[in-house]
Amino acid sequence: MFWRFLTIFILIFSTPIWSVEYATAPKEKVTVKLAMYLADIFHIDDSQKSAQVKFFVRTEWKDKRLKGKYKKPTRIPINEIWHPRIEIMSRRNLTPDSNKVVTVDKDGNIKRLVRFTGTITFKARYEDFPFDHQTLVFDFITPNKEVVLEIGVFKALRTRLFSIEGWVFGDGTFVEEDVDLGRDEPFIFKGLVMRIRGERKSHFYLWKIFYPLTLILLIAGAIFGINPGQVPARISVTSVATLTLVAYDFVIAGMVPTLSYLTVIDIFYFSSLGLVFFAFSGAVITTYIGSKDMNLAIKISHTLGAIFIMLIIVLYIVVLK
């Protein structure tokens, strides 16, 4: 009877005793070394300014209260000890893995590795789209006043290509930086910020948008080689070019994010509309002049054709600067 009572007493009170001793925050400052390993980037949504990623975060800290408790590195559930709370401010929908364990050695050093999969947000500007560069940001802070974050020595990036198509990412940077969470007033946290810069591959857009639009412009410019007296042929060419450009706007709209400002593609498209209108106006003017002096109309038409080609070249220089 006595031994049964003693066993029940131990089972009831052993867990709270552990919780009180080790699951509360230590009194002194705790330095937490944080390292990040970006494993993959799956997709970037320009309209939502978000990216689907997979990465690992490793944290290391020391709890003197655990010194000597384990004779060798031991894996234990994380809820049995105190651990720092670390937030990722750029997260939108990140899911950590279910492996909630840490490794504790004989000196009280603790290591934890967590895999995150999901979506992060980033600040983006698309004025140079599709020749733009975007930067993905992973900013880590801790609300624990007793915790100081430091950069660890873990590998920051993987060397092989990511799964995402249409992007090339360079080397990343991992620095200590103040993170401002305030809106109207500054609300500063000491944190760690990892940035990786990506460049959009523009070859797809060059072939899908710029190349067809250039062909349409050249077709519209062909009217300057048609005799000014052939009015129906000249008007039909410019009309077809204009209608084709208007229809192509729907194709472009599906590729460009909805924005309150113009991108490089928008500028090129509206400039193309202006050049087609220039060709149409030139056709009308030279046709009118040709009704009185055909030789003069032909000379003016050839001159306008040369100016038209020069304007296309200037447009490409401005866009591809």
Q: Tell me: do 150 and 282 sit in the same domain.
A: no
Within-domain flag for 274: yes
Residue 153 has a pLDDT of 58
77 plus 212 within the same structural domain: no
Residue 249 pLDDT: 85
The pLDDT tens digits of the residues spanning 288-299 come to 898 888 899 899
10 Å Cβ neighbour count for 199? Answer: 13
Q: d(Cα 71, Cα 54) in Å, to the nearest integer? A: 34
State whether 196 and 315 are in the same domain: no
pLDDT at 230: 86
Single residue among 180, 200, 220 that ends a domain in this structure: 200
Dist. CA 160–CA 157, nearest whole Å: 9
> Of 181, 200, 219, which one is at a domain's C-terminal end?
200
Alpha-carbon distance of 221 to 283, in angstroms, equals 10
Average pLDDT over residues 53-58: 92
* 215, 147: one domain: no
Q: Are 116 and 92 in contact (CB under 8 A)?
A: no
Count of domains for the chain? 2
Out of 169, 200, 231, a domain closes at 200
Residues 230 and 189 in one domain: no
User: Per the omega criterion (within 30 degrees of 0), is the bond before 130 cis?
Assistant: yes
258 in any annotated domain: yes
* CA pair distance 320, 314, nearest whole angstrom: 10
Q: At 280, which CATH number?
A: 1.20.58.390
Q: Does one domain contain both 194 and 93? A: yes
**19: in domain:** no
Residue 138 clears pLDDT 50, i.e. is over it? yes
Asked if 53 and 166 sit in the same domain, the reply is yes
Q: What is the pLDDT averaged over residues 5-12?
A: 41
CATH number of 90's domain: 2.70.170.10
Residues 222 and 125 in one domain: no
- Asked if residue 91 is part of any domain, the answer here is yes
- Kindly state whether residue 71 falls inside one of the protein's structural domains: yes
Instruction: Classify residue 93: in a domain, yes or no.
Output: yes
Domain residue limits at 98: 29-200
DSSP β-ladder status, 30-45 and 147-151: parallel
Q: Buried (b) or exposed (e) across 235-245, using 16+ Cβ within 10 A?
A: eebbeebbebb
Burial class (CB in 10 A: 0-12, 13-18, 19+), 203: exposed
Instruction: Look up the pTM and report it.
Output: 0.78
pLDDT digits (tens, 9 = 90+) for 308-321: 999 999 999 988 77
CA distances from 162 to 110, 154, 159, 169, 170 (A): 31, 19, 9, 8, 11
pLDDT for 22 equals 58
Question: Do 145 and 36 share a structural domain?
Answer: yes
Q: Specify the length of the chain in residues.
A: 321
98, part of any domain: yes
Q: How far apart are the first and last CA of the chain?
A: 90
Kindly report, residue by residue over 103-122, the tens digit of the pLDDT. Answer: 999 999 999 999 999 999 99
For 271, the 3-state DSSP assignment is helix
Distance of CA 25 to the CA centre of its chain: 37
Residue 194 belongs to a domain: yes
Q: Which of 112, 138, 115, 118 is nearest to 58 (CA)?
A: 112
Same domain, 164 and 250: no
Residues 34 and 101 in one domain: yes
Where residue 134 falls (left for φ over 0; alpha for ψ -120 to 50; beta otherwise) is: beta
Give the pLDDT confidence of 193-221 residue by residue, as tens digits.
888 999 999 888 889 889 999 999 999 99
Question: What's the rounded Cα separation, in Å, for the pair 251 and 28?
Answer: 61
Within this chain, do residues 266 and 140 fall inside the same structural domain, yes or no? no
Q: In this model, does residue 271 exceed pLDDT 90?
A: yes
Instruction: State pLDDT tens for residues 173-184.
Output: 888 887 776 666
**Per-position DSSP letters for 212-254, written without gaps between them:** HHHHHHHHHHGGGGS-TT-HHHHHHHHHHHHHHHHHHHHHHHT
